[in-house]
């Protein structure tokens, strides 16, 4: 009987294309099929080293670094999750913009941006399945699983670095739309309250107001008042985890369908009207790309959200 090939030690040398990437993100892309939890365990145990030294998941790769990966089972030996043809076709129809450097997709609600924590395939893995010929596809920023709308994906690592720089310099304008409980006191409301992220043992992220947290500024502009709710346009001046959701909650106007920071009675009313997701949508993106292209993209609301607005 033919013996199965034993996995062997891998050595990966870093070239210019992958300089400054976090090692955990790089290896999740390179070692396809390896669960994120196991990757972190291998890093902690020293089974994965850089230049013969132990490193943390946040380590950023440098030109010429040599990564040593101990013998492990990889994608070829792990049965891959197979997305349906219908799902891939749906995602293909959601691409709003594409050039040689990046693409912008209208992410559907209910799809996580990446795999992990029990999720076999996230949006980025699905896009890589759709584009097997692509040498590089990586998220530029993130959206919560139940948030829909504009999401940028870089097609080159050099472009990823430049787009991250634009984000740090607040040169990418991001506008959201949300349905919130009650009526805001003013047409435009600015909320500047520091937020601190906590990660529970389960891996769940919970964000709380804290003086020890990071500065966060959100601007809520009322678009339309309904009997028990308000449709608001939201402008992010900072990009903290769950920022819009927490700032809406502490302002007394939680987002419809938010099962973490929302209001149960309000969510129940919205469910009765057919809302099965959180009413938060990344509607617009505006920026000048590093290639000089002026990009202004708007993602339309899906039928479920439009139906809720019609009923209200």
Asked if 126 and 110 touch (Cβ cutoff 8 Å), the reply is no
pLDDT over 90 at 189, yes or no: yes
pLDDT over 50 at 1, yes or no: no
CA dihedral of 137, 22, 205, 188, whole degrees rounded to 10: -70
Catalytic residue among 24, 65, 144, 258: 144
pLDDT over 80 at 81, yes or no: no
pTM exceeding the 0.85 threshold for the entire prediction: no
Residue 169 burial by CB count (10 A; 0-12/13-18/19+): exposed, middle or buried?
exposed
pLDDT over 80 at 6, yes or no: no
Residue 144 is among the residues annotated as catalytic for this protein: yes
Q: Where residue 306 falls among pLDDT bands split at 50, 70, 90?
A: very high
Domain ranges within the chain, ordered by starting residue: 10-73, 85-162, 170-311
Side-chain-side CA neighbours of 58 within 13 Å: the count stands at 0
Average pLDDT of span 233-239: 94
Q: pLDDT of 116-149, one tens digit each?
A: 555 567 899 899 888 888 888 999 999 999 999 9
Quick check: do 85-162 and 170-311 share a fold? yes
Topology annotation, domain 10-73: 3.10.290
CATH number, domain 170-311, options 3.30.2350.10, 3.40.50.10860, 1.10.760.10, 3.10.20.90 = 3.30.2350.10
Q: Is 262 helix (H, G, I), strand (E, B) or coil?
A: coil
pLDDT over 80 at 285, yes or no: yes
Report the candidate in 256, 260, 258 with the shortest Cα–Cα distance to residue 273.
256
CA dihedral of 173, 108, 124, 299, whole degrees rounded to 10: -30
Give the CA diameter of the chain.
76
CATH number, domain 85-162, options 3.30.2350.10, 3.40.50.300, 1.10.10.10, 3.40.50.2300 = 3.30.2350.10
| pLDDT value for 77 | 47
């Amino acid at each position: 009987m033919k013996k199965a090939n034993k996995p062997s030690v891998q050595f990966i040398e870093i070239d210019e294309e992958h300089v400054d990437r976090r090692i955990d993100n790089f290896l999740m892309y390179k070692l396809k099929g390896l669960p994120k939890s196991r990757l972190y365990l291998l890093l902690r145990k020293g089974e994965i080293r850089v230049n013969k030294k132990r490193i943390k998941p946040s380590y950023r790769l440098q030109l010429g670094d040599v990564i040593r990966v101990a013998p492990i089972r990889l994608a070829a030996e792990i049965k891959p999750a197979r997305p349906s043809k219908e799902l891939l076709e749906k995602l293909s129809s959601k691409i709003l913009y594409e050039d040689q450097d990046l693409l912008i997709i209208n992410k559907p609600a209910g799809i996580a941006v990446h795999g992990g924590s029990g999720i076999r395939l996230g949006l980025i893995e699905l896009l890589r399945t759709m584009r097997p010929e692509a040498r590089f596809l990586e998220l530029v920023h993130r959206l919560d699983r139940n948030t829909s709308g504009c999401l940028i994906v870089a097609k080159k690592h050099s472009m990823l670095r430049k787009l991250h720089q634009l984000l740090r310099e607040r040169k990418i304008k991001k506008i959201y739309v949300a349905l919130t409980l009650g009526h805001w006191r003013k047409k435009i409301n600015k909320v500047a309250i520091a937020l601190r992220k906590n990660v529970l043992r389960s891996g769940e992220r919970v964000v709380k107001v804290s003086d020890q947290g990071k500065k966060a500024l959100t601007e809520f502009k009322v678009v339309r008042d309904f009997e028990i709710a308000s449709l608001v346009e939201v402008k992010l001046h900072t990009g903290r985890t769950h920022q819009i959701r927490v700032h809406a909650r502490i302002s007394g106007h939680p987002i419809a369908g938010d099962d973490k920071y929302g209001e149960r009675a309000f969510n129940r009313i919205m469910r009765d009207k057919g809302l099965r997701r959180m009413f938060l949508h990344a509607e617009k993106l505006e920026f000048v790309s590093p290639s000089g292209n002026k990009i202004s993209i708007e993602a339309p609301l899906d039928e479920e959200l439009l139906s809720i607005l019609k009923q209200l």
